[in-house]
Structure formats: structure tokens, C-alpha cells
């Protein structure tokens, strides 16, 4: 599936930068200069260039949406709007770590000294009303996003000193002094907005009115907050470009929203939508033994995930005094029994996360190398000593549920931090009771948190859960009004500028930033800059692993779990390319509708099961 639909910050989690050594126009950009596809390539290798157009696909959305304007902080977004409605200057390749190729910009120039980048607009580029896309639209887009858009744009593009239209078809971005490895391709990911449309429309307001855009789909039927249908733009100007050939094959893509996860699950089996990724281990392990699955009408599959898992975690609000002592944070980690949780609740489908860059070669799972130690040595007195000797490991139990040893160690750590139990309640050095509240937007996590709470209570910590709707959760998270939240920090294949937003001190108190926990550490800031300025992949790996060690050994989060795969299920009426994209599922933009399979489903007959899919549960009985 188009990955930006599942990750709030995906365009900003793609750290991409390349610099040509001349200003000759180039057809693509990548991190360190390597491109898989030549200038005359016909299509990406993970599509079927002859895929037929037609049919529809329906997918679920969680909770609701308050706007289809995806570029501002306010309002709960319809997450499919951005990738389906809006073109970007260049298009990402999903079988390379970080390459972009011509879309609205047919070519790109980078200064030899890396002080500027210029994009040359394709003369055929058009908005949906057939008006030409001009460099003035790009200048408007950049300024609107930085001034009035989501704070992530201001953060990402803060090192751009000037943007100017040097002609109707060329836009130039000049950088502030310094090293800007990532900026050219960050700008390649810039969405394209219409200056004329926003001359009459307030950019800062949420809206259900479809904006004038230029992407592969338009808004069709819209029921605010409940459902939205995207209709393929028949006059899409870029449908025959190499980056789009064989993509965007469905005539319609419908997103149906469900406020209740269980209701959404049951709706799938009654054919109210077509495709779901299963994130709940209990459901995947036990609840697909149903007639449509056993008859072969629905098929299940496990797809290898070759992208970094990042980290899903209990994120502690470090702005709050009670979480600022590392001994307290370690004590809380000791009270979380992952092994029991995995065995009892998750059917042993997961592994414990021990890195911010889990499921990738960037994870610091071995002792530090000499190169890493050289980066870390200047900070020896400012970071935990174990950073220099051992890979990080979260607390571990035997899975029996009896964790007296862990709780004993946690009690000792809390005592060292000045905490004492008074009348059964743990109190801090200031005499204040230690209370924590978990902020959630879905009740399904209660079964995971409640055993954690029971262990915390054995330490004298009063813990509780607050459940709010998704819109209020976003508001409280954006304003940092919480003790603990559960979030996933997605990591790119080539980390860079987004690390400032995730962990940089400058963004610890910026409303809406992705530094949700409030990490505010000069050592982390310095290592982030080592990541941002790394000149080759070897130096990047060294810097990322050093950063990983410092973040993990400081215990800023209590890690949860991961798996290096996607569990998917779908009604068997689709086809897909023989070679899927390496770094994305590609459902919405590379699969296509098979009318013969759809006819068989309507007759109650199972179509041929695709290779690699799982046998129905009834086959194991």
C-alpha cells in the first residue's frame, strides 16, 4: 500500500540526498549518487507496465477524518489524500533506498559546491483543470508550507535561504551556509499546490472541499468523516511518464472509516471492504477461521518487510520531572514483562525491540566499532558507561509472569533516585506521589497495559489509562499534555534530517513536532549532525549506530515489539506484479482489478489462490 497512508511523516522520513558534480540537468537524485534507472528507463521494475485499468478497491480507515487538507497541523487528516491527489516535484522509487526520478520536475540541477538546487518543470505538467504548472506555483507551495503549514515543513526546510522562479519553468532553492546533504531530495518530495486556487481559498483552514491538484486521482464521492472515494483522473497529465507507467490502476479507491476496530474487523468478512493489514496478533492467530477464508474467497499472506521497523514504544514525556531520572526510566522498563505479553497475548509472533533502527543494518546490535568509539569518546562523562561496552538490551523475564527479581531491582533503582513508599504509595524526593497515566485512542491496548499497570502498582506507582478519540489524542499529543503514549517512530532507509525532528533539542517543545517524548540532550544533537553530514554510507552507518546507542542506553522510551513482515488479507479479486516493490507493499499503486476473479467471487466460487498465500485455517484441522 502507498506507505504514506500508514505513516504520518513518510515523505519526511525518507532521508534522500545526492549531489551531481556538475550543474548539468539530471533525471534523478539519490543519497550518495547511485541510481538504478537510466535516463531512458521505461518503467519501474516492480510494476506491470501492461496492467489493465479498471475496477475498484475499498480499504479501511481508523476512527474518522476532519479534513482532506493534509498540509496543516489542524484537524485529523484523511491520510490517503496527499499521495493520491497531489504530485510531487519528483517521484520516489520503491526498489531503491532513497532515489527520486522526474515527475513535475523533468530534471534537476545541483550546484558543484552544493549551495543550491534547481528543478526544471515538465512543460506538459498540468493541474486537473488543465492549467499549466509553473515555477510560481512551486514558489507559492514552498512559502505556504513553511509559513502556514504543519511544523514539519518549517523544520525540514529550515536551511533553505531563498526560493525563486528563475523562469516560468525553473525554480531554484538556495541554501544557507553549511552542509546540506539531504535538502535536494527533501525538496524533490515537495508536493505541488496551485497558487491560483489558494489566492481565493484560505490555506490555513481545514476543509472538505477538494483543492485543485495535479495527481493521479480526484475526489469523487465524499461523506465527511465517514468515507471518501478517489476517482482516477482520466486526464492525468503524467499517466504515461516512466515513474507512473503500470501504476494507479484502480478506477476508484474508497476508504471506509470505522470508529471501532472490532467493527472494522467483522466488516471485512461481510465484504464491506477488500483489503486489510492485520496488526493484532490475536486476531491473526485465532480469528481468521471463518467461511470466506476457508472457502478461499479471502486469502491471507505474510509479506517480507525490508524497511526499518523503527521503534514502537511507550514514550515517556521527558518534560515532566518524574521521568527525568534515568534510574526511574529503567525501573519502569523492568516492570514491563514483554516475554509474558508475547507468549500469552501475542502468540509469540513478535520480538522485543532493542534499537531505534530495528530490522535494519543500522541497528546497533553488536559492541561498538572503533569508528563508533571515536565518535562517542568525547562524551564519555555525559552518557551511560554501557554505551562504550555493550549493545542495548531491554529488560528480560522468563515469560512465566513472575518477575520478582525485576521488581526487586526496580525498587533498588527507585530508592537510589530518592523514592520511598509511604502508606503503600511511592513518593518522590519532593514528597509527591508517583502517578502515571497512559493516554490511548483505542481500547484494544488495555489488555496489554493492564498487566504492566499491575506490576507498576507492586512498586507503589499508581497507574491508570485514559482513552480519548483520535482527534483529541492528536491534540493532546501535539501539545505534549500526557504522561505516556504509545507511538511508533518510523525510520527511513537512509536517516538524515528527520532525526532532528525526532530527537533534536530544538524541537523538544515545538507543538506538533515528532519529538514526542521531548528528548533534549546536547550529545544527541551532536550525533544527529554527524548523521546529517555523513558523506558516504559507511560514515552514515557509524554515526547512526552511535546515535542509536546513546538514545537506547539513556532509556528515553520503553520499547515494545516488532516483526519483519506484513500480515495481510484480501478478497481474491486482484492481481499484482511478479516482482513487488522492495520497500513498500504497493497495493494501491501497483495492484490491479481482475474482473474474472470478481465474477467468481460473486458466484461464491474460489478463484485460483495466488502463489505464496497461506492455506485456509480449515486445512490444518
> What is the model's pLDDT at position 33?
84
At the topology level, CATH places domain 3-47+65-215 in: D-Maltodextrin-Binding Protein; domain 2 (3.40.190)
Express as a percent the part of the chain with pLDDT over 90: 91
Indicate the pTM of the whole model.
Answer: 0.90
Express as a percent the part of the chain with pLDDT over 70: 96
> What average pLDDT does range 310-327 have in this prediction?
98
> What is the model's pLDDT at position 23?
79
Beta-strand ranges (E) seen in 337-477 are 351-352, 420-422, 425-427, 435-440, 462-467
- Grade residue 442 by pLDDT with cuts at 50, 70 and 90: confident
Q: Exposure of 423 by Cβ count < 10 A (0-12 exposed, 13-18 middle, 19+ buried)?
A: exposed
Say yes or no to pLDDT of 14 above 70.
no
> What average pLDDT does range 46-67 have in this prediction?
97
Say yes or no to pLDDT of 20 above 90.
no
Residue intervals of the chain classified under CATH 3.10.105.10 are: 311-562
> What is the model's pLDDT at position 22?
54
> What is the model's pLDDT at position 12?
41
> What average pLDDT does range 269-294 have in this prediction?
96
CA distance 85 to 228: 12
Say yes or no to pLDDT of 179 above 90.
no
Q: Which residues pair with 280 in a beta bridge?
A: none
> What is the model's pLDDT at position 299?
98
What's the pLDDT tens digit per position in 421-438? Answer: 999 999 999 999 999 999
> What is the model's pLDDT at position 397?
97
Say yes or no to pLDDT of 3 above 70.
no
Instruction: With beta carbons less than 8 A apart as the criterion, state whether 223 and 84 touch.
Output: no
The correct CATH number of 228-305+564-620 out of 1.10.10.60, 3.40.190.10, 3.40.1010.10, 3.40.190.150 is 3.40.190.10
To the nearest 10 degrees (0 to 180), the angle between helices 537-553 and 522-533 is: 160
What's the pLDDT tens digit per position in 207-250? Answer: 999 999 999 999 999 999 999 999 999 999 999 999 999 999 99
Q: In CATH, which superfamily holds the domain spanning 311-562? A: Dipeptide-binding Protein; Domain 3 (3.10.105.10)
What's the pLDDT tens digit per position in 99-117? Answer: 999 999 999 999 988 899 9
Grid coordinates representing 207 are: 476543509
Say yes or no to pLDDT of 27 above 70.
yes
What's the pLDDT tens digit per position in 453-466? Answer: 999 999 999 999 99
Residue intervals of the chain classified under CATH 3.40.190.10 are: 3-47+65-215, 228-305+564-620
- Grade residue 618 by pLDDT with cuts at 50, 70 and 90: confident
Instruction: With beta carbons less than 8 A apart as the criterion, state whether 561 and 448 touch.
Output: no
Say yes or no to pLDDT of 362 above 70.
yes
Say yes or no to pLDDT of 258 above 70.
yes
CA distance 87 to 68: 15
Element (H or E) spanning 256, and its range? strand 252-258
Mean pLDDT value across the chain = 94
> What is the model's pLDDT at position 1?
55
Amino acid at each position: 500500500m502507498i506507505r504514506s497512508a500508514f505513516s504520518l511523516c513518510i515523505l519526511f522520513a525518507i532521508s534522500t540526498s545526492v549531489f551531481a558534480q556538475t550543474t548539468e540537468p539530471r533525471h534523478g537524485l539519490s543519497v550518495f549518487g547511485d541510481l538504478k534507472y537510466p535516463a531512458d528507463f521505461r518503467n519501474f521494475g516492480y510494476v506491470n507496465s501492461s496492467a489493465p485499468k479498471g475496477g475498484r478497491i475499498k480499504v479501511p480507515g481508523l476512527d474518522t477524518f476532519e479534513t482532506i487538507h493534509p498540509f496543516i497541523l489542524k484537524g485529523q487528516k484523511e491520510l490517503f489524500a496527499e499521495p493520491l491527489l497531489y504530485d510531487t516535484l519528483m517521484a520516489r522509487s520503491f526498489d531503491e533506498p532513497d532515489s527520486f526520478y522526474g515527475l513535475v520536475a523533468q530534471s534537476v540541477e545541483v550546484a558543484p559546491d552544493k549551495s543550491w538546487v534547481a528543478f526544471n518543470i515538465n512543460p506538459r505538467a498540468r493541474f486537473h483543470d488543465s492549467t499549466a504548472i509553473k515555477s510560481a506555483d512551486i514558489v507559492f507551495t514552498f512559502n505556504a508550507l513553511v509559513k502556514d503549514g504543519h511544523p514539519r515543513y518549517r523544520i525540514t526546510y529550515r536551511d533553505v535561504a531563498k526560493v525563486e522562479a528563475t523562469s516560468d519553468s525553473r525554480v531554484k532553492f538556495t541554501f544557507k551556509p553549511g552542509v546540506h546533504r539531504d535538502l535536494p531530495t527533501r525538496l524533490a518530495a515537495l508536493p505541488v499546490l496551485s497558487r491560483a486556487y489558494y489566492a481565493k481559498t484560505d490555506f490555513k483552514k481545514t476543509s472538505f472541499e477538494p483543492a485543485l491538484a495535479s495527481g493521479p486521482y480526484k475526489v469523487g464521492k465524499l461523506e465527511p468523516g465517514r468515507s471518501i472515494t478517489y476517482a482516477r483522473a482520466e486526464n492525468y497529465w503524467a499517466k504515461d511518464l516512466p515513474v507512473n507507467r503500470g501504476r494507479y490502476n484502480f478506477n476508484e479507491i474508497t476508504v471506509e472509516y470505522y470508529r471501532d476496530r472490532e467493527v472494522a474487523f467483522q466488516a471485512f468478512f461481510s465484504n464491506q471492504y477488500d483489503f486489510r493489514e492485520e496488526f493484532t496478533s490475536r486476531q491473526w492467530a485465532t480469528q481468521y477461521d471463518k467461511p470466506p477464508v476457508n472457502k478461499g474467497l479471502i486469502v491471507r499472506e505474510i509479506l517480507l518487510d525490508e524497511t526499518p521497523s523503527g521503534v514502537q514504544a511507550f514514550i515517556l514525556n521527558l518534560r515532566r520531572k518524574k521521568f527525568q531520572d534515568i534510574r526511574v526510566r529503567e525501573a519502569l522498563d523492568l516492570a514491563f514483562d514483554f516475554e509474558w505479553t508475547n507468549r500469552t497475548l501475542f502468540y509469540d509472533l513478535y520480538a522485543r525491540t532493542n534499537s531505534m533502527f530495528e530490522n535494519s543494518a543500522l541497528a546497533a546490535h553488536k559492541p561498538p566499532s572503533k569508528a563508533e568509539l571515536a565518535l562517542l569518546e568525547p562524551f564519555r562523562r555525559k552518557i551511560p558507561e554501557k554505551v562504550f561496552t555493550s549493545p542495548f538490551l531491554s529488560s528480560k523475564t522468563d515469560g512465566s509472569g513472575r518477575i520478582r527479581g525485576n521488581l526487586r531491582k526496580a525498587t533498588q533503582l527507585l530508592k537510589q533516585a530518592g523514592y520511598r513508599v509511604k502508606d503503600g504509595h511511592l513518593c518522590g524526593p519532593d514528597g509527591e506521589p508517583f502517578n502515571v497515566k497512559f493516554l490511548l485512542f483505542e481500547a484494544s491496548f488495555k489488555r496489554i497495559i493492564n498487566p504492566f499497570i499491575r506490576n507498576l502498582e507492586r512498586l507503589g506507582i499508581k497507574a491508570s489509562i485514559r482513552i480519548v478519540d483520535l482527534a483529541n489524542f492528536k491534540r493532546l499529543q501535539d501539545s505534549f499534555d500526557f504522561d505516556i503514549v504509545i507511538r511508533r517512530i518510523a525510520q527511513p532507509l537512509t536517516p538524515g534530517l528527520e532525526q532532528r525532528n525526532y530527537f533534536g533539542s530544538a524541537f523538544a517543545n515545538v507543538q506538533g513536532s515528532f519529538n514526542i517524548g521531548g528528548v533534549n540532550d546536547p550529545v544527541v544533537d551532536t550525533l544527529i549532525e554527524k548523521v546529517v553530514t555523513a558523506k558516504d554510507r559507511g560514515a552514515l552507518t557509524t554515526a547512526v549506530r552511535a546515535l542509536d546507542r546513546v538514545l537506547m542506553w539513556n532509556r528515553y522510551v520503553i520499547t515494545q515489539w516488532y516483526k519483519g513482515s506484513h500480515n495481510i488479507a484480501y478478497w481474491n479479486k486482484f492481481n499484482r506484479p511478479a516482482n513487488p516493490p522492495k520497500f513498500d507493499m504497493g497495493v494501491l499503486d501497483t495492484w490491479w482489478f481482475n474482473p474474472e476473479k470478481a465474477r467468481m467471487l460473486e458466484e461464491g466460487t474460489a478463484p485460483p489462490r495466488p502463489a505464496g498465500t497461506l492455506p485456509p485455517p480449515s486445512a490444518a484441522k
